[in-house]
Structure 1
């Protein structure tokens, strides 16, 4: 499941040809929902994203309300290595990273996106103003994807990204990522420190 989230968010630096892009460093919770004809997956992750140094960390997988382990995974594209670290058990597994770090490919609002109206969270003075966009793209397996993305007016912070995939080798599917407690910048850079037992 961590790999699926990784594929969706593989990279966040300023991309050309975009309406807007979120900050290139941030901390956020991600709620992930994936459904196709054979699978339903729900999970909550905490992500620390560092587009400046081409790395990110994912931890805290919660599937169906249950905590699934104490592992954090650091993907370091400059080193071409990922580290799966369990600090409680003091274990570490490394594995090579395939592919390249992609600048904002799946989080920027591309220039061809069509605005489908304003969107608001909250009420009155406490409301968050957002914009909703939609566009078409191609999935990694060659299928057609319809993407709807909701971002805040201020800062282009992603709130919800929904992808409906039609066709392709995997058939029809729905993939959605929602963001919560988004913090621009990195609160604690030491989360990327690799322990000595790695």
Structure 2
């Protein structure tokens, strides 16, 4: 397993990165999708002519219940850190929670879960051929695809996704968005320490102070 140095990031940074993630949409239908529930670490890089931002956070994906969670400040003992943001598409509500300061704020969630997830490879994607990570018998067989997408504000995008050949587990997803105030932008998500299923059923519990 590849090791990642886990740095701490403030809740504001994690929320901004989460909003970027939620702004992506893909066409209906798919070539393949990862497990309906999973958790992983995401290392994110966002670059345009004005800004460079990097963040490491934990990500919990629950397609069955149409919700996902991102959390900042993970450490070696806890997968979920002190700051987390939950998007619940069935209830159309989101929660920004800080368990250390015991604060919580709600916000409306718009759109459909299927339009926001951006982890499936959509139908119509063009294959870029097989890729291999690792060495000899320990290598990881993967496939890469490219496809067009549309941002929430209508800007055009090109997405390059690399997933495992078995299971469609995401490895890297790179999105190039054209235009906007900061000019063209590059948004890259790398996945690490992937776990199929939910590590803990309490991840999505809403605290009483919300």
TM tier, smaller: 0.7 to 0.9
In the TM superposition, 1:129-144 aligns within 5 A as 129-144=141-156
Q: 1:21 aligns with which of 18, 25, 33?
A: 33
Q: Write 1 or 2 for the structure with the bigger share of strand.
A: 1
Distance 1:96 1:17, change over 3 A: closer
Q: Is the 8 A contact 2:17 2:55 kept in 1?
A: no
In the TM superposition, 1:29-44 aligns within 5 A as 29-44=41-56
Q: 2:166 aligns with which of 154, 164, 178?
A: 154
What are the superposed Cα offsets for residues 85-128 of structure 1, whole Å, 9 maximum, x if unpaired? 22222222222223332257522112211111211111111111
Correspondence for 2:95: 83
Correspondence for 1:66: none
- How far apart are 1:142 and its partner, in Å? 2.6
What are the superposed Cα offsets for residues 130-151 of structure 1, whole Å, 9 maximum, x if unpaired? 0011122223333321211000
Q: 1:5 aligns with which of 9, 12, 18?
A: 18
Q: Is the 8 A contact 1:19 1:110 kept in 2?
A: yes
Q: TM-score normalized by structure 2?
A: 0.80
**After the TM superposition, which segments of 4 or more aligned residues of structure 1 sit over 4 Å from their partners?**
none
Q: Distance in 2 between matches of 1:124 and 1:76?
A: 42
In the TM superposition, 1:55-94 aligns within 5 A as 55-60=67-72, 70-94=82-106
Q: Is the 8 A contact 2:41 2:193 kept in 1?
A: yes
Distance 1:104 1:36, change over 3 A: closer
Aligned Cα RMSD in Å? 2.3
What are the superposed Cα offsets for residues 37-87 of structure 1, whole Å, 9 maximum, x if unpaired? 10101001101111111111111258xxxxxx8211122222222222222
Q: TM-score normalized by structure 1?
A: 0.85
Which runs of no fewer than 5 residues in structure 1 stay unpaired? 63-68
